[in-house]
């Protein structure tokens, strides 16, 4: 299970690097800071999954949660969201080293 969590963390980190690279290229081209929201990036990649997630969240979960949390999350920069996801997955899959050390009896 830890392997899968660390692999998912690696994928999220790669997505964050790709999103950050795209934002930096667009920033250089526009001569101003450009940060793509996660909703725009998701809309570009897979618009059907975004609309299905929005409709299922608004139907199955309380509408206040949808308006407050989900819409706030969709306005955040894509690279930052993927970095937080990567960090959380890595922290969950982290294995603590033994307290006594490597060469104890």
Q: In residues, how long is the chain?
A: 105
Low-confidence ranges of the chain (pLDDT < 70): 101-105
How far is the CA of 47 from the CAs of 43, 94, 101, in angstroms? 4, 33, 50
pLDDT of residue 58: 80
Which residue stretches of the chain are H helix?
2-30, 38-45, 47-60, 63-65, 71-74, 78-92
- The pTM score is 0.80
Residue spans per domain, the chain: 1-33+77-93, 36-75
pLDDT tens digits, 63-84:
777 778 888 888 999 999 999 9
Tell me how far apart the alpha carbons of residues 11 and 4 are, in angstroms, rounded to a whole number.
Answer: 10
């Amino acid at each position: 299970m830890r392997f899968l969590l660390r692999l998912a963390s690696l994928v999220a980190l790669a997505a964050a690097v790709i999103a950050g690279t795209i934002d930096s290229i667009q920033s250089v081209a526009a001569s101003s800071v450009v940060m793509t929201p996660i909703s725009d990036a998701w809309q570009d990649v897979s618009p059907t999954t975004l609309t299905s997630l929005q409709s299922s969240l608004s139907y199955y979960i309380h509408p206040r949660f949808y308006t407050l949390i989900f819409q706030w999350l969709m306005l955040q920069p894509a690279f930052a969201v993927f970095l937080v996801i990567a960090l959380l997955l890595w922290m969950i899959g982290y294995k603590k080293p033994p307290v006594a050390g490597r060469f104890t009896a």
